[in-house]
């Protein structure tokens, strides 16, 4: 009896499994299956699924992951790019300060709606974290929707008793070309001059805002600052070329040119080419004549200024493209080509002497001088000159 009961139970299980196969795999309703279908139902239980279990598992996992990211608005990607750094800003433990500063540096190069509000919160904390946040906010000039809020917070930071925070806020405001910071910037440069150590980032700030009232202190830096500060000051002076009130910029540079160290002369020659004032032809010729043969062929260095508070990353490259001193002088002469009779009376004979001195010597000096001379002569109109009596 027990044996017959176990066999009946087994048949029922087979029937159930067969019914599942018929219903879901073959589309049949097991309620209307004939007795002759019993064998088919048994056979159905022995057929392998057309979709393997690993594939079903992978598809289910993929759909679950996509659904999770959709519901959580791509949380995983956000956390890797932004969230992990925002989390690092929590707390005040001094041992974690380097990690907080690095987190601010990472956020400064990313773009997400939560970043600017986060940096503004860090700015309000003050101290070293606040100073780094002020610097970082200066890198968001492309985020126009947050501009008003950022400027408001940075202007408030200018009133802080913390000199480091004030300086970082000042430089960042200059990156937004906020010309209202001209007076505080003059004060900071004067303090640096008195201390004998010039923060070259302040000179970059002066080049950004281009306010003529900065020119006297820039000229002082060009005369009395350290060598690298003088080079950046020369560049900053030339950035004022489009300001109507800015006069005699070329004279500020040419007055310093004869007595400057070679790297500073490189920067001055480069800046004179930017200004393009015809009066600079004669000082440039003098710069060529007084340079040694070695100096003429020496490559003028690029000046790199790092704007991050620790002097790393966020760099600003000045005095490009790279070339030697002689070529920079010839480029300057070509950019400010002599046109007036008084200037041509000095430039053309000088170029003629240069062509004669280097013709056939295997260098390009004669060719460069001749090309410049031909350009000057092709553009002049002697018919406008007064006839000799």
Q: What is the mean pLDDT of residues 144-153?
A: 96
Structure confidence at residue 25 (pLDDT): 45
Q: What is the spatial distance between Cα 186 and Cα 282, in angstroms, rounded to a whole number? A: 32
267 touches 231 (CB < 8 A): yes
To which residue do tokens 């594939």 refer?
A: 55
Q: What is the mean pLDDT of residues 296-324?
A: 96
Q: What is the spatial distance between Cα 208 and Cα 171, in angstroms, rounded to a whole number? A: 9
Is the pLDDT at 113 greater than 70? The verdict is yes
Cβ partners under 8 Å of residue 272, min gap 6 = 238, 250, 253, 254, 280, 283, 284, 332, 336
Using pLDDT thresholds of 50, 70 and 90, give the confidence band for residue 16.
very low
Is the pLDDT at 208 greater than 80? The verdict is yes
Question: Could you tell me the two tokens for 20?
Answer: 């599942």
Per-residue pLDDT tens digits for 311-358: 999 999 999 999 999 999 999 999 998 999 999 999 999 999 999 999
Using pLDDT thresholds of 50, 70 and 90, give the confidence band for residue 22.
very low
Q: Where are the domains of the chain?
A: 106-176
Q: What is the mean pLDDT of residues 221-249?
A: 95
Beta strands, E only, 181-312: 303-306
Is the pLDDT at 187 greater than 80? The verdict is yes
pTM of the model: 0.78
- 29 vs 222 pLDDT, higher one: 222
Cβ partners under 8 Å of residue 223, min gap 6 = 230, 256
Which run of H or E residues covers position 281?
helix 281-290
Q: Cis bond leading into 355, ω under 30°? A: no
């Amino acid at each position: 009896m027990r044996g017959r009961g176990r066999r009946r139970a087994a048949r029922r299980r087979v029937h159930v499994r067969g019914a599942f196969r018929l219903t879901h795999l073959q589309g049949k309703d097991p309620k209307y299956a004939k007795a002759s279908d019993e064998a088919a139902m048994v056979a159905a239980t022995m057929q392998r699924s057309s979709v393997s279990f690993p594939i079903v598992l992978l598809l289910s996992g993929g759909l679950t992951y996509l659904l999770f990211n959709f519901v959580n608005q791509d949380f995983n990607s956000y956390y890797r790019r932004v969230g992990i750094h925002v989390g690092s800003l929590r707390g005040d433990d001094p041992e974690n300060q380097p990690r907080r500063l690095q987190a601010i540096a990472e956020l400064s190069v990313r773009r997400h709606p939560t970043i600017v509000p986060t940096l503004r919160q860090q700015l309000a904390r003050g101290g070293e974290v606040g100073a780094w946040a002020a610097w970082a906010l200066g890198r968001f000039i492309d985020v126009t929707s947050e501009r008003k809020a950022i400027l408001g917070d940075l202007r408030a930071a200018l009133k802080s008793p913390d000199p480091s925070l004030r300086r970082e806020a000042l430089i960042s405001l200059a990156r937004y070309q906020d010309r209202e910071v001209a007076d505080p910037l003059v004060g900071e440069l004067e303090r640096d001059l008195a201390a004998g150590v010039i923060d070259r980032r302040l000179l970059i700030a002066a080049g950004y805002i281009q306010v003529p009232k900065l020119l006297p202190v820039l000229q002082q830096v060009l005369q009395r600052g350290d060598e690298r500060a003088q080079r950046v000051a020369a560049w900053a002076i030339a950035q004022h070329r489009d300001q109507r009130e800015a006069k005699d910029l070329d004279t500020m540079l040419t007055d310093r040119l004869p007595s400057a160290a070679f790297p500073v002369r490189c920067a001055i020659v480069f800046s004179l080419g930017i200004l393009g004032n015809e009066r600079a032809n004669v000082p440039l010729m003098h710069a060529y004549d007084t340079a040694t043969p070695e100096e003429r062929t020496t490559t003028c260095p690029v000046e790199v200024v790092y704007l991050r508070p620790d002097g790393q990353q966020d760099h600003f490259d000045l005095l490009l493209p790279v070339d030697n001193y002689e070529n920079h002088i010839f480029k300057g002469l070509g950019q400010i080509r002599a046109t007036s009779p008084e200037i041509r009376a000095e430039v053309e004979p000088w170029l003629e002497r240069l062509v004669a001195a280097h013709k056939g010597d295997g260098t390009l000096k004669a060719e460069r001088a001749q090309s410049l001379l031909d350009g000057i002569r092709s553009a002049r109109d002697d018919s406008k000159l007064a006839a000799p009596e």
